[in-house]
């Protein structure tokens, strides 16, 4: 019996896929890649050959390469600038952070150990404080002394000027009062005659000329200011208050004499005017005009005798005024001399 040979059936693609699907998939992918690479290489070769055949295409290709190189360089420069900018930011950040580290170190306080002072050191410090206070006191005292000295000098200089003005006025009063004394003497001599022989016109003129008084007004501005500043050392340790007191006392007496003399003139001479002068003559004399005539009203010999006595009294007080004017003038001169010497005003 003959065996029939085994015939192997050829497998179809579908049977292969069914039997081993994974291996089939791998083989298909591999074949596709080979075909793609082959086609790509063929295309490159074709393109290169075309480029070689066409020089214009070759120039454009070189330009493309140059542009790509420029873009690559710009990209590198931009990257470098970014790197430098980041470095500068890092540097700035480090600079900003430096004070923070310093502040942190400053916040840490270390209290040093204080050494105990000895008794001698305390004594030395106390002595230094005492010396400082004492020196300050002396400096303040010197400053006050200088300031007060300037103030005292100004007051004393003003006092000297006032006293010189007073002496000039007193001298004028003395001259005027001496002239009044001469007029009073002339009137007294005239009144000794009998009424019928008297020149009534001359008598009226002499009576009107004796009806005068020159008053003295002392300059008390500097004296008043000095009296308010007598507590100052420069004044309290001097005799200026004594001189001022004497000068003011003399001025008060002189003022009283002037008041008495004013009363005498009013009671004696003014009364004689009202009783015996005519209106015409009185008007002329009051306006510094000469007597119009010698007429008088209700005049008798007894009126002349009484007027003679009253003129004597007026002349006596006038002599007292002259005497006190002289004394006050001398007091002013003494005070000027003392102040000038005491406060070194010789060169002023």
Q: How confident is the model at residue 109 (pLDDT cuts 50, 70, 90)?
A: low
Q: Are 264 and 313 in contact (CB under 8 A)?
A: yes
> What are phi and psi for residue 235, nearest 5 degrees?
-95, -40
Taking the C-alpha atoms of residue 242 and residue 223, their distance in angstroms, rounded to an integer, is 12
Q: Can you tell me which residue has the tokens 């008043």? A: 224
Q: Which residues of 207-229 are buried (b: 16+ CB within 10 A; e: fewer)?
A: bbebbebbebebbeebbeebeee
Higher pLDDT among residues 270 and 34, named by residue: 270
Query: Exposed, middle or buried: residue 323 (CB in 10 Å: 0-12, 13-18, 19+)?
Result: middle
Mean pLDDT of 311-325: 96
Phi-psi region of 109 (alpha: psi -120 to 50; beta: other; left: phi over 0): beta
What value, to the nearest 5°, has the Cα angle with vertex 36 and ends 33 and 38?
A: 110
- Residue-wise pLDDT for 277-315, tens only, equals 999 999 999 999 999 999 999 999 999 999 999 999 999
DSSP 220-270: -HHHHHHHHTTTSHHHHTSSHHHHHHHHHHHHHHHHHHHHHHHHHIIIIIH
Is the confidence at residue 84, as pLDDT, over 60?
A: no
User: Read out DSSP for 256-307?
Assistant: HHHHHHHHHIIIIIHHHHHHH--HHHHHHHHTT--------SS--HHHHHHH
The pLDDT mean for the chain works out to: 77
Crossing angle of helices 240-264 and 301-342, rounded to 10°: 170
pLDDT at 51 over 50: no
pLDDT at 14: 46
Residue 155 has pLDDT above 90, yes or no: yes
Tokens of 193: 């005659």
Query: How many residues does this entry show for the chain?
Result: 348
Q: pLDDT tens digit string along 178-221? A: 999 999 999 999 999 999 999 999 999 999 999 999 999 999 99
CB atoms within 10 A of CB 63: 10
């Amino acid at each position: 019996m003959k065996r029939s040979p085994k015939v192997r059936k050829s497998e179809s693609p579908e049977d292969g896929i069914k039997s081993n699907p994974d291996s089939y998939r791998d083989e298909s992918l591999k074949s596709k890649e080979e075909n793609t690479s082959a086609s790509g290489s063929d295309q490159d070769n074709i393109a290169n050959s075309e480029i070689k055949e066409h020089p214009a295409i070759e120039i454009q290709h070189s330009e493309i390469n140059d542009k790509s190189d420029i873009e690559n360089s710009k990209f590198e420069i931009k990257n470098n600038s970014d790197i430098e900018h980041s470095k500068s930011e890092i540097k700035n950040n480090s600079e900003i952070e430096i004070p923070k580290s310093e502040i942190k170190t400053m916040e840490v306080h270390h209290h040093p150990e204080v050494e105990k002072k000895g008794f001698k050191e305390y004594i030395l410090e106390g002595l230094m404080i005492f010396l400082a206070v004492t020196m300050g006191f002396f400096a303040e005292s010197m400053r006050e002394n200088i300031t007060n000295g300037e103030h005292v000098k100004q007051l004393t200089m003003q006092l000297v000027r006032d006293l010189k003005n007073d002496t000039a006025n007193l001298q004028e009063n003395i001259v005027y009062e001496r002239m009044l004394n001469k007029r009073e003497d002339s009137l007294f001599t005239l009144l000794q005659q009998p009424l019928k022989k008297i020149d009534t016109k001359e008598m009226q003129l002499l009576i009107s000329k004796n009806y005068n008084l020159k008053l003295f007004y002392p300059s008390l501005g500097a004296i008043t200011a000095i009296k308010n500043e007598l507590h100052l050392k420069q004044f309290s340790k001097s005799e200026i208050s004594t001189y001022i007191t004497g000068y003011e006392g003399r001025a008060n007496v002189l003022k009283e004499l002037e008041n008495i003399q004013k009363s005498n003139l009013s009671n004696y001479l003014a009364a004689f005017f009202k009783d015996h002068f005519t209106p015409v003559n009185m008007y002329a004399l009051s306006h510094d005009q000469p007597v119009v005539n010698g007429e008088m009203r209700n005049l008798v010999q007894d009126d002349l005798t009484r007027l003679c006595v009253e003129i004597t009294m007026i002349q006596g007080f006038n002599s007292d005024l002259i005497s006190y004017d002289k004394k006050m003038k001398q007091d002013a001169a003494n005070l000027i001399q003392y102040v000038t010497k005491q406060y070194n005003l010789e060169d002023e």
